[in-house]
Structure 1
Amino acid sequence: MTNKQRIDLIERFIREHKYADLHTLAERFSISLSTVRRALDQLAGRGVLRRHHGGASLIETDELAREYDFIARDERQADEKHVIARTIAEQVQPGMTVILDSGTSTYAVARLLVSKRLQVITNSLPIAGLFSEIGSLETIVTGGGIHNRLGALVGPLCEKSLEEIHADLAILGGAGITEAGVWNHNALIVAVQRKMLVAAERTIFALDSSKFGRKALSLTAPFEPRFTIVTDKSPATPISRAIQSAGAKFLVAE
């Protein structure tokens, strides 16, 4: 087992049980106490947990997310989202300016960015709340009206604020992906995402395999060379061919 795999397993265990002591983790994963301590230190540095004498507990940072029914949606395809989020987070370098949209897949990425030195621009109230609690980065929240169910800022004020910024990278979600491009359900969200695409040098879409072949209300964008699609499985041939023909890339997270 690699160190990365070991840390992922420990993180998953603590997320499930909320607390774990050193001896339990050492016995569970057949590792030494010193190895457990190093793993917990790394997870604490990422804002996942809080270290205690003899163990660690999960940092509960999702109160605002729960208020917007965000957690229930976040738990769908949870394992796939975590793998995708980890792959995307590895591509985010310190010092970057990053746009994060309001989807649950993007929220999964945000959890892995809390310890990085970044400037983040978001229209997501749950993401802003997450970073205000434990983040070490600079967070800028767009203007706009609140979409109550999603906890997302949308509308003309949000779109206008995005027209006035520039970012190195945008990280967006979506409801579906076909040969035509990436789709989403809500026209207000799509309008905001299109402004984010214009504001960023390049864009990464976090799309788990349940989205393959699915259309929604609006086409967010056709594929472009500056797009990268990160998924948990290779898409069907027509979709992968369309991505490659447009000069875009797709990565299969592992």
Structure 2
Amino acid sequence: MLAQQRQAAIVDRVRLTGGIRVSDLAGEFGVSDMTIRRDLDLLAERGLLAKVHGGATVAETGSTDEPGFAAKSARQLSEKAAIAARAAHLVLPGMAVALSAGTTTAALAHRLVDTAGLTVVTNSIPVAEIFHRAGRPDQTVVLTGGIRTPSDALVGPVAVGAIRTLHLDLVFLGVHGMSLRAGYTTPNLMEAETNRALIAAAERLVVLADHTKWGTVGISSMAELGAAHTVVTDEGLPEPTRATIREHVTELVVVA
């Protein structure tokens, strides 16, 4: 297979699945990892995909671009797992917590299914399904209802109305992006409103964001950078950026 044919096939695969690993592509096409990485470099330069650690995903084109849950699930898997593992230590038995929509919060849900006496409020269909499959009888799960987004969040006035009546210990917020100027952002206007309601309902805001989220700006801000009590991220975040975040939040947790 010629290089151009292989690269065209890679683009088709990424668009079909939302994301792909270097190792999978190398095995499929019978070439080295280095060859695939060079292909991804070229395709990323042409704007046909976005390179991420260990693979590639669909290119995001603007502040309103909203990848689906499956596409986001292929990104930064090890980082999200480490962030979720650390964030789970903040939850104690008997707490009432909220988990916003997102793949990192879904990873956290897997870590919390064995926590006794937990009450979980979520606007995420995948998060609710994780707790439902676990079937722990001493846990209560509240799914807000609302209009479904491409990222499997439930948003809009029904969700906001349900959340505004609640009082929670913690909210774990997954974000599309974060920056000093825009704070924590999302590409979906209704999701921003729903997440603002979650933030207002909780005593503490914990933001879960891998290093690729810094500098990404969605169309709508959910909260300013300093609104978070804790930000949990990974060691890929550069030290100058860590210093900036520490100036604004109470606690920055960086996981390996």
Q: Which TM-score band applies after superposition, normalised by the shorter structure?
A: 0.5 to 0.7
Aligned identity (percent) is: 34
Residue aligning to 1:240:
242
Structure 2 letter corresponding to 1:162: I
Letter in 1 for 2:132: S
What RMSD in Å do the two structures reach over aligned CA positions?
2.0
For 1:193, the equivalent position in structure 2 comes to 195
Counterparts of 2:177 and 2:70 in 1: how far apart (Å)?
20
Deviation of 1:238 after TM superposition, in Å, equals 5.7
Report SS of the residue matched to 1:229: strand
SS in structure 2 at match of 1:224: helix
Report the counterpart of residue 133 of structure 1 in structure 2: 133
Structure 2 unaligned residues grouped into runs of 5+: 1-66
Work out which of the residue numbers 133, 141, 144 in structure 2 matches 1:142: 144
What secondary structure sits across from 2:225 in the alignment?
coil
**Structure 1 stretches (4+) deviating beyond 6 angstroms?**
none
Kindly provide the amino acid, as one letter, of the partner of residue 75 in structure 1: A
For residue 109 of structure 2, what is the amino acid of its counterpart? A
Work out whether residues 178 and 225 of structure 2, in 8 Å CA contact, stay in contact via their aligned partners in 1.
no
Aligned-residue offset at 1:226: 4.9
Counting only pairs closer than 5 Å after superposition, residues 84-163 of structure 1 correspond to structure 2 as 84-117=83-116, 118-136=118-136, 137-147=139-149, 149-163=150-164
For residue 90 of structure 2, give the secondary structure of its aligned residue in structure 1.
coil
Count of residue pairs the alignment pairs up:
186
- For residues 33-57 of structure 1, the C-alpha deviation after alignment (integer angstroms, 9 at most, x for no partner) is xxxxxxxxxxxxxxxxxxxxxxxxx
Provide the C-alpha distance between the structure 2 equivalents of 1:198 and 1:69, rounded to a whole number of angstroms: 26
Residue 128 (structure 1) shift: 1.0
The Cα shift of 1:225 comes to 5.8
Q: Name structure 1 gaps, 5 residues minimum.
A: 1-67
Map 1:55-66 → 2, pairs under 5 A: none
2: CA distance, partners of 1:227 / 1:185: 23
Change (3 A) 1:73 1:234: closer
Q: What is the deviation of 1:242?
A: 4.0
Task: Please name the residue that 1:230 is paired with.
Answer: 232
Q: Supply the distance in 2 between the matched residues of 1:217 and 1:225 (Cα, whole angstroms).
A: 18
Q: Which whole-Å deviations, capped at 9, do the CAs of 1:140-159 have from their partners, x for residues lacking one?
A: 11132222x22221101111
Assess if the C-alpha contact under 8 Å between 2:179 and 2:225 holds in 1. no
CA deviations on 1:52-72 (whole Å, 9 max, x unpaired) are xxxxxxxxxxxxxxxx95344
- In the alignment, is the contact (CA less than 8 A) between 2:231 and 2:249 conserved in 1? no
How much does 1:177 deviate?
A: 1.5
Q: Give the Å deviation of 1:224.
A: 3.1
Instruction: State the Cα deviation string for residues 162-190 of structure 1 (Å, max 9, x = none).
Output: 11001000001111111132121111111
Question: TM-score, normalising length from structure 1?
Answer: 0.68
Give the letter for the 1:142 counterpart.
T
- Kept in 2: contact 1:85–1:109 (CA 8 A): yes
The whole-number CA distance in structure 2 between the counterparts of 1:134 and 1:247 is: 34
For residue 168 of structure 2, what is the aligned residue in structure 1?
167
More deviation in 110-119 or 226-235?
Answer: 226-235
Greater shift, 68-77 or 210-219, is seen at: 68-77
Q: 1:70 to 1:235 in 2, by over 3 A?
A: closer
Q: Report the secondary structure of 2:222's partner residue.
A: strand
